[in-house]
Amino acid sequence: MQIEDLRSFAQVVRFGGFTAAARETGQTKARLSKRVARLEHDLGARLIERSTRSFRVTDVGTEVYQQCQTIVESIEATEAIASRLRTDVSGTLHVSCPPGLAHYLGSEVIADFLIRYPLVRVRMHLTTRRVNLINERFDIALRIALESETDQSLTMRQLGRARRILVASPTFLELMPIHNVESLNAVPILGSGEHLEHERWELIRDDGQTHNAVYRPRLCSNDSGVIREAAVNGLGIALVAERGCIAELAAGSLIHILPQWHASENDIHMVFSSKKGMLPALRAFIDHYVARFPNFEQIAQ
């Protein structure tokens, strides 16, 4: 049983015949007749008695029409909703984002987006876990990664790169000056991992020299905002994203130490399931973020 057959049958009954239905709907009588005949075949019952001079809906046809009206009205309402969603920038977006990334990619950009599109709602879920967009019903994920997305069903768009630098507060450096990377072994470290017993830092100097060391951090957190504030409060040396502490560096509450050393750069990117059938709200969200990062580059499809 096909939806278009039900729709055609309902139109024929509603307008009182094949000729009238063809005139009102713009379809041919032959197409309407074919669809009604196919519906009768599927149901195994005669729905309309018709000849060149008469048209009568059978008792079975009357009952089917009553049910058919409800089905067709429901389908048309659903189609209207889908049509509106395809054209209106509205609805709810489910977004996944690491807590630290939300500090400088999330709140301000989201606020601008919601002001621009008042009919859109956003649920931002902060987690360091790599969510499954399909199974967990997320529309898009903001991520930091050293390598590209391997899931071929996902589209990934790069927003930029995050360079991590060494920072500390002025008061901390007055008490514990840092002259070289070897000095890091003798001062408190603020870690971004999950283990207090070891924090591995792989640093690269501007000339290509590397320095790998394992530290026992005084504080560790997977929220870079916590680590940044701990550094501001003089609790230790932190390795944080440069973009994430621009305000503190400008204000002087953090100082960039050993500027010739930094960690490997990480890609900042957006991941979403597909371009096909993308709702306008999601397209607008992606375009809004891309506009905020001029070094946008599509790196996978």
- Domains of the chain: residue spans and CATH: 3-84 (1.10.10.10), 91-159+268-300 (3.40.190.10), 164-263 (3.40.190.290)
List all residues 6 or more positions away from 8 whose beta carbon is below 8 Å from its beta carbon: 21, 27, 31, 32, 35, 36, 39
Strands in the chain per DSSP E: 48-50, 55-57, 91-97, 120-126, 140-145, 155-162, 164-168, 189-191, 199-205, 210-215, 219-220, 237-241, 255-256, 261-263, 266-272, 297-300
Structure confidence at residue 295 (pLDDT): 43
Give this prediction's pTM. Answer: 0.61
Structure confidence at residue 30 (pLDDT): 92
Structure confidence at residue 178 (pLDDT): 93
195: left (phi over 0), alpha (psi -120 to 50) or beta: beta
Average pLDDT per consecutive 10 residues, the chain (301 residues; last block may be shorter): 87 89 90 92 90 83 87 79 72 87 72 90 87 88 69 79 91 94 92 77 91 90 88 95 87 96 85 77 89 50 27
